[in-house]
Amino acid sequence: MMQYTVVLERCEEGGYTISCPTLPGCISEGDTYQEALDNIRDAIRLYLRAVAKEIEVLKQREACQTAEVVV
């Protein structure tokens, strides 16, 4: 299990917009604080699944290789 920092912003019209800065474009919303947190959990799971699938597709290409780097 991984832990992610998320940013909640109250919307003028009510509810919250929530994003995960670590995962660009991973954004959700909710009518309540808790609903926003639940929704971003789902969004993060879907985001990570999509990235994992893309990595697998790239690995299947003969011209692509993968490597590990430490930063």
Number of domains composing the chain: 1
Q: Are 47 and 19 in contact (CB under 8 A)?
A: no
CA 50 vs CA 13, 16, 37, 43: distances in Å:
31, 25, 20, 11
- Which positions of the chain have pLDDT values less than 50? none
CATH number at residue 56: 3.30.160
| β 27-30/7-10 pair status | unpaired
The pLDDT assigned to 53 comes to 93
The pLDDT assigned to 59 comes to 78
Instruction: Quote the domain boundaries for residue 51.
Output: 7-60
* Structural domain includes residue 13: yes
Cα torsion 62, 63, 69, 71 to 10°: value is: -140
How many whole angstroms separate alpha carbon 18 and alpha carbon 24? 12
* Structural domain includes residue 24: yes
